[in-house]
Chains A and B, each alone.
Chain A
């Protein structure tokens, strides 16, 4: 596979003080859906806007199809489609006029009717943009990105604030674009979105990539296959040496405590759980809650940073 988007050691410092991006390198292969996953303020938007050529990095280099943004920016723009995190399109234009307007900027655009059909906006073609629902507005934003017939689609938090049905509609649209051979780069702070949509993920925190790989690889490597969560009654002291007690159980990879719940990342729960039950009795306390689940990207993130993705 060939590289379509490439960045090396990107840095961005605002006003000489705030370091939004601190040495970020990535490579996106053709046909891939690449996700930047991270909490708000991690530097995702700054990164994607540098890649899109809308922000100049303080240092570092970006190449799109081997070209830098200094070469011939207009030609590069012909090949990429962008949806910004927040754009309020003109409310007094209708959907078709908006798509036609964006189509007119590209030398080889797709017919507006095809785009309307593909994004399920045909019924709304004559409606003013101001009258659209949130999901429809977001689909229109993606429509303006797709109408130029791009090779690469950049989407900054495309589904933030949307209802579950609208999110799923957008996922289908993104997958369809990818199936035609398009490359996608998206940012998100939704684990499920990253897990379902992305072939490859970079987890971003404080302006650097702290882990990269396919979603299942990341989970395998860092999250453990399974998570065992339990609570015990309160007569026991809660010092961290107690956590060591749980860590020494068979097949446990890591332990963390969230409020009164203890979470164990385990490889083989059928080995851990009997030992856990024994240990609980041995400690002279009672089990109040016990559950097991598949590990998720959330577990990966918490394991790496000690924080949750959405702490707000």
Chain B
């Protein structure tokens, strides 16, 4: 740099501003670039039918499908078979009379009489929960399968029915109250997990994929050829995630509440704050994943590689408690685990955000470290 200021052009008295060819008529404010970038991003997302499907429709379909398939049904009908022989008809009528007087309206006993071979075959194939045989000495034999909970249950139930029909008096007066509360069902476990997974999916794809596509189109290079602030660009990309997040959270929770009568114990504000935390964290991870990739194909593989362990370990569809305890510290260090745990605690138990600082810290570390590394390694061209 040996050139001195005297070599600078002399035409322009104010070297800081060479005169424009056309007199300007308006001035843009500091945030005009950011606002337009954010708006452009939202418009693009809105106009991309795949995005609407994967971000909004797919999680609802998943929740509906799994919610119906794994709904908790009442134990309901006990299906038993009485083996043909003397007194079989009498046994049948004893069961029926007992069922009529039973206070338990939820369970009904369905009993049929069949010959021995057919009856036992039906029992072995799971058609009947229990087979009853009246012995010649007047005692009963129950055939049951200890590995099948409904078989074990029906043995107790049938025994009680027969005993009371035979005149046994209960020594204690009891009454029961049925309790199948929302909050402890599979769908209640599932919805927060789906919410977490959806925030991860759309964060990784929404930021990572979009970035690489823009890089591949040389659009990033075109943007940095303007006075655009690079930080505004990354900020807009990340905050567009926040806008989507509010819709994602609203749709999934609303769906759970309306269709499955799910109960949200925590405050909506806490849920939305948690959602923002998750969206920004995974936006950061997506940024890091995509910070250097040049091709859509390579970033797709990278994104899947990053998300795969979390789909399996982070307790989306089933609790990670099923994995050996030795693995739990590692599983809990994953960002999706932290997010899912925090979402479940807030939605299902009404836990406050303050009580979950550990989980928030895990998210903040993942998000913060990813952002810093992504900015350092970022490739604009």
What residues make up the interface of A, taking CB atoms closer than 8 Å to B? 2-4, 30, 52, 54, 61, 63, 65-68, 74-75, 77-79, 82, 84, 86-90, 92-93, 97, 100-111, 128, 144, 148-151, 177, 180-182
Contact = CB atoms under 8 A, between A and B. Distances in A.
Nearest to B47: A92
A185 to B, nearest CB: 14
Contacts, number: 130
Interface in B203-245: 217-219, 221-229
Given A2-B9, A4-B9, A92-B47, A105 B24 contact: no
Given A106-B28, A144-B222, 10 more contacts: A74-B227, A82-B225, A86-B218, A90-B219, A104-B37, A105-B226, A110-B25, A150-B20, A151-B19, A181-B21
Contacts of A92: 43-44, 47-48
Contacts of A90: 40, 44, 219
A151 B228 CA distance: 17
Contact of A63 (B3, B22, B217, B218): B3
Question: B interface, by DSSP: helix, strand, loop or mixed?
Answer: loop
Interface string B114-130: 00000000000000000
Interface stretch (B10-18, B57-65, B331-339, B347-355): B10-18
B28 A93 contact: no
Contacts of B25: 110-111
Contacts of B229: 74
A97 B221 CA distance: 19
Contact of A177 (B18, B21, B33, B381): B21
B18 A79 contact: yes
Contacts of A87: 217-219, 221-222
B5 interface: yes
A82 B222 CA distance: 8
Contacts of A30: 9, 11
A61 B47 CA distance: 45
B197 to A, nearest CB: 26
B32 interface: yes
B27 A108 contact: yes
A150 B228 CA distance: 14
Contacts of A182: 21
A108 B222 CA distance: 19
Contact of A54 (B16, B36, B43, B224): B224
A151 B16 CA distance: 13
Nearest to B37: A101
Contacts of B221: 54, 84, 87
Question: A interface, by DSSP: helix, strand, loop or mixed?
Answer: loop
A3 B9 contact: yes
A267 B219 CA distance: 50
A154 to B, nearest CB: 9
Contacts of A2: 9-12
A78 B228 CA distance: 9
B227 A106 contact: yes
Contact of B3 (A61, A108, A128, A177): A61
Contacts of B19: 151, 181
B100 interface: no
B169 interface: no
Contacts of A89: 217, 219, 222
7 contacts: A88-B217, A88-B219, A105-B223, A110-B22, A149-B20, A150-B21, A151-B19
A52 B225 contact: yes
Contacts of B47: 92, 128
Nearest to A8: B3
Contact of A65 (B8, B24, B27, B43): B8
Interface in B85-123: none
A111 B22 CA distance: 11
Contacts of B261: none
Contact of A105 (B12, B217, B227): B227
